[in-house]
Amino acid sequence: MPQAEHPNAVAPVFAALGDQNRLSLLSQLSHGRARSIIELTRGSGLTRQGVKKHLVILEQAGVVFSVRVGRESRFALRRDGLTGAQIYLERASKQWDDSTRRLRTLIED
Amino acid sequence: MGDRIIKQVYLRAPLSRVWRALTDQYEFGEWFRVKLDGPFRQGTVSTGTMTYPGYEHCPWLATVERIEPEQFLSLRWHDFDEASGMPIGDQATTLVEFRLEAVADGTNLTITESGFEALPDHRRIEVLRGNTEGWNIQAQNITNHMNASG
């Protein structure tokens, strides 16, 4: 589902993040510069095809973009694509903080 | 950075006390802010009404997936997006898991919420979760989370 059609959709982002291989690819891309599939394949335990497949999913979720450099594609993190999902998690997380504070009051008093 | 929420809290109370707060319908209702129609039973559907101020008209619906006495409780919690017009039973769920572990002078409680990919969009936040105050999001958080997970 292309993100452009659903600018508020966080579900595809969570779906894209719900995979250890993709989280690990994102983590590598978080350190700045755009990387090629060959670079990302190194040490990943995945085949080049596998890395490419995961990158396509991340790109469709809007959290990664690709740029053409010469004959190869390089991939980089798209931070704004993560913001919606991040805000969501932050809010849900804060709600759990509030709930556990009430739980603590209930059982420790 | 990830696709789930994990909360770990240390509580200065014996495990059995914490377990009661998680599984007694009235105690759970007090801290979670919901009025439950009945006790949690494994494999059954729990119904009730939210008591969170301003959200008292919102229903509560969850499937009690697994109960392991004094160790583990999991609930599949239904989203309630009023604007969708859909009955709560047809709305998406997230999975909430509570794990208990006895430690010196207290109990460690780990709460995990996952399955956000099932949600249609972020409106749920505005309905049931938009009521939290004091939080602030900074774009920098994303970078921090990403780097921390590296």
Tens of pLDDT, residues B93-118: 889 999 999 999 999 999 998 887 77
A21-51 pLDDT per residue, tens: 998 898 888 877 899 999 999 988 999 999 9
B37-74 pLDDT per residue, tens: 999 999 999 999 988 877 788 899 999 999 999 999 99
Closest by Cα among A9, B3, A23, B19 to B11: B19
**Contact A86/B at CB under 8 A:** yes
> Taking CB atoms and an 8 Å limit, are A83 and B149 in contact across chains?
no
Write the DSSP symbol of residue B90. G
Q: How far apart are CA A44 and CA A40, in angstroms?
A: 7
Q: How far is CA A56 from CA A86, B78, B88, B121, in A?
A: 21, 31, 34, 21
Q: Which domains does chain B have, with CATH numbers?
A: 5-149 (3.30.530.20)
> Taking CB atoms and an 8 Å limit, are A107 and B11 in contact across chains?
yes
Q: Token pair of B46, please?
A: 């729990």
Chain A residues with beta carbon closer than 8 angstroms to that of B18: 107
> Counting Cβ atoms within 10 Å, is residue B26 exposed (0-12), middle (13-18) or buried (19+)?
exposed
Residue-range domain boundaries for chain A: 10-108
Mean pLDDT per 10-residue section of chain A, whose length is 109 residues: 46 82 87 88 92 94 90 89 79 86 91
The sheet carrying A35-36 orders its strands as A35-36, A72-77, A64-69
Kindly provide the ipTM of the predicted complex, given to two decimals.
Answer: 0.72
Q: How far apart are CA A90 and CA B138, in angstroms?
A: 10
Place of tokens 């694509």: A81
| pTM across the whole model | 0.70
Query: What is the CATH number that goes with domain A10-108?
Result: 1.10.10.10
Find which of A104, A105, A109 to mutate to test the B interface (most B CBs within 10 Å of its CB): A104
Is the CB of residue B36 less than 8 Å from the CB of residue B50?
no
